[in-house]
Structures are given as C-alpha cells and as structure tokens.
C-alpha cells in the first residue's frame, strides 16, 4: 500500500497531528520545546507525503505562536525548508527558557535501574565484524511478545540527519497505515539491529494495538514506557553478549538523557518516562498500554528475573 496523494487527506493528517502535539503534560518552556519536538516529527511525515501536508502543519504552527523551540526547531525548520521557504511564525532554535530538574523519585528510579543493569555481566562487543541481518524487525520478534508484521517500510534516506523517531501512522490510499521510515539513521550493525528490531519494533506493536492516539503529546509517554519496558525484558532474557551489551548501553543512555541530553535535557517529563514509565509498567501499573500487550510482557519479566542471581537487584522502585 502506498501513501495517499489526496491533498485534503494530507492536510487533515498534518493539522490534526499538529494540534495533538500541543497536548503535553507540561507548562512553560518545557511545553514549548515538547510541542516543537512533536511538530518536527510531523514534519518528517509531511516531507514524505507532499506540500499539501505542510500546508496543514503551517496552519497550526502559525496559529499557535510558539516563538522559541530549542534544538528540535532546527529539525523542524530544515524539514519545512525542503518544501520551500519556511513561513513566518515558525519557532526558532533559541532556548525557550529554564526547566526544573527531575524530582527525587525520578533520580531514585534511575539509581535502582543503573544498579540492576550494572549487575548483569557485559563482555562488550566481540572482535571482528558482526554480520548484518536482512530484516531487523523480523529478527527482533523474539524479544517482542506482540510482534506485528503489518508495517509499510518507506525510504527516508534523503532525510538522513533530520529525523528522530521513524515510526508513525500516515494516510495511505485506503486509510491510515503503520509506517517505519528507513535510512534516516546510521549506526553500527549491532545497534541498528537492536534499535530497529527491539525498540522501534515495540513502538510499531504498540501503535498497531492502540491506533494513532499515542504518537504525539501526552500519548507519547505510554509509547516510550512500553518500548523501554520491552528493552528491559529483552535485557533480562537475552544470552547473546552483543545484544546484551547494546541494551545495557541503551539503558545508560536513557538515564543520561534526563539531565544531560542536548534536546531531551529540557524535556524532563518525557525523558524520565523512559525509566519511570517502563518500571511502572513492569511493576504492574497501567500507563496507557493495552492489557493484551502489558500482560504477556510482565509475564516474561517475572520469568526472566525470578531466581536469577544477575537479576536480583530489582529495578522496581520501592513504594
């Protein structure tokens, strides 16, 4: 199935998602940066669809009046510039303002997760070349309890360096379709395989189960909670040293995002959910994840961590 060529469908998709991106559980500078980050992701979809989609995004951006969007505004403006001059009213990349630090509950969750992760043996990358897999999403199915194959792969290599996330729902010829955009990121084979096959694959599974309401704004908290929980279960289960190393690196990088990341450091609510949301989900709390996804994932978590010496330091925060 191909993407739609209908101008009205493109406009409606972009405008509707741009409005949804404004619904964030934050205020002030954090809300502005989060909104602009969402618009940058929508702009990737618009670039894949065509100029009529950008017309819909333009209408919302100009009506909203966000002046400063932080680092994500650079991606937003660069993608918009692929379809002509950036209209007036688009936010610039200036700092939208100060944002408070993460709370003690978040810091404690990070400490517990880091300690659990450190207890898992890690031999690092093996020497020599790691053979690539043809289809990372199929490879990653072993780590995802509700793997979907109803996915359309779209070439996005011409937007390399301008994309953050690459999973989304876009209007096709007969309605919305689940899309993964390929070729936008370059990474060594082990990382590419795990990021696409486990994390992005989990996003696609979640999207297939929920529809499109989890893509932007506050819905993204549930999406990232689920994808990160899938990573943690994979880390607890795997005996593959390469996969284990990549997943452990990923945990550390997510913890560092909360305060030190150039883009997510100004989005503490979103950055924290990679840790706190994932742990809450594995601990039995529902955070916008359908039970048909949450239940089998928790079952695998319990089995993978029960009685294993390397898994005794539980990452679930004390209550």
For the segment 254-303, what is each residue's pLDDT rounded down to a tens digit?
Answer: 999 988 888 898 999 999 999 999 999 999 987 789 999 999 999 999 99
User: In 3D, which of 217, 184, 212 has the Cα closest to residue 19?
Assistant: 217
| 31-60: pLDDT as tens digits | 999 999 999 999 999 999 999 999 999 999
Mean pLDDT, residues 64-77: 97
207 shares a domain with 60? no
| 172-199: pLDDT as tens digits | 999 999 999 998 988 888 899 999 999 9
251 shares a domain with 154? yes
229 shares a domain with 194? yes
* Angle between the N-to-C axes of helices 72-81 and 28-49, in degrees from 0 to 180, rounded to the nearest 10: 30
68 shares a domain with 142? no
189 shares a domain with 226? yes
What integer pLDDT is reported at residue 123 of this predicted model? Answer: 79
Identify the domain containing residue 51 by its residue range.
Answer: 7-81
Residue 316, pLDDT > 60, answer no
Count of domains for the chain: 2
Residue 91 lies in a domain: no
Residue 219 lies in a domain: yes
What integer pLDDT is reported at residue 133 of this predicted model? Answer: 87
Last residue of a domain, one of 23, 48, 81: 81
Residue 311, pLDDT > 60, answer no
| 208-248: pLDDT as tens digits | 998 767 899 999 999 999 999 999 999 999 999 999 999 99
206 shares a domain with 283? yes
Mean pLDDT, residues 126-131: 70
183 shares a domain with 307? yes
Q: Which residues contact 41 (CB under 8 A, 6 or more apart)?
A: 21, 163, 164, 165, 168, 215, 216
Residue 1 lies in a domain: no
162 shares a domain with 35? no
Last residue of a domain, one of 81, 116, 144: 81
Query: To the nearest whole percent, how much of the chain has pLDDT over 90?
Result: 81
Residue 86 lies in a domain: no
Residue 164 lies in a domain: yes
212 shares a domain with 71? no
What integer pLDDT is reported at residue 126 of this predicted model? Answer: 65
76 shares a domain with 130? no
Yes or no: say if 305 and 314 are a contact pair by the CB < 8 Å rule.
yes
Among the ranges given (129-138, 141-150, 172-181), the one the predictor scored with the smallest mean pLDDT:
129-138
Distance in angstroms (rounded) separating the CA atoms of residues 128 and 121:
20
Average pLDDT taken over every residue of the chain: 91
| pTM (2 d.p.) | 0.93
Residue 90 lies in a domain: no
Residue 215 lies in a domain: yes
Last residue of a domain, one of 66, 81, 96: 81
What integer pLDDT is reported at residue 128 of this predicted model? Answer: 65
238 shares a domain with 169? yes
296 shares a domain with 190? yes
Residue 62 lies in a domain: yes
């Amino acid at each position: 199935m191909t993407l739609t060529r209908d101008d009205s469908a493109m406009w409606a998709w972009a405008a509707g998602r741009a409005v949804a991106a404004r619904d964030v559980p934050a205020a002030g500078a954090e809300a502005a940066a989060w909104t602009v980050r969402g618009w940058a992701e929508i702009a990737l979809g618009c670039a894949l669809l065509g100029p009529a989609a950008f017309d819909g995004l333009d209408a919302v951006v100009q009506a909203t009046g966000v002046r400063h969007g932080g680092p994500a505004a650079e991606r937003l403006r660069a993608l918009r510039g692929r379809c002509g001059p950036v209209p007036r009213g688009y936010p610039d990349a200036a700092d939208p303002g100060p944002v408070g630090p993460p709370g003690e509950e978040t810091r404690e969750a990070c400490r517990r997760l880091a300690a659990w992760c450190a207890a898992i043996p890690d031999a690092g990358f093996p020497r020599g070349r790691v053979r690539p897999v043809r289809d990372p999403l199929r490879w990653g199915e072993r780590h995802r309890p509700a793997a979907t194959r109803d996915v359309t792969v779209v070439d996005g290599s011409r937007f390399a360096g301008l994309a953050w996330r690459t999973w989304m729902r876009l209007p096709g010829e007969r309605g919305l379709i689940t899309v993964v955009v390929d070729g936008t990121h370059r990474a060594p084979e082990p990382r590419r395989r795990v990021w696409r096959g486990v994390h992005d694959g989990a996003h696609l599974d979640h999207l297939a189960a929920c529809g499109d309401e989890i893509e932007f704004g506050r819905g993204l908290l549930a999406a990232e909670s689920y994808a990160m929980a899938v990573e943690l279960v994979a880390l607890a289960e795997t005996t593959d040293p390469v996969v284990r190393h990549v997943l452990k690196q990923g945990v550390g990088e997510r913890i560092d995002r909360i305060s030190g990341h150039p883009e997510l450091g100004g989005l503490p609510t979103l950055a924290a959910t990679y840790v706190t949301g994932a742990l809450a989900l594995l601990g039995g709390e529902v955070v916008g994840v359908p039970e048909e996804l949450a239940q089998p994932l928790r079952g695998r978590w319990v089995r993978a961590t029960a009685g294993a010496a390397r898994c005794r330091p539980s990452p679930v925060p004390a209550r």
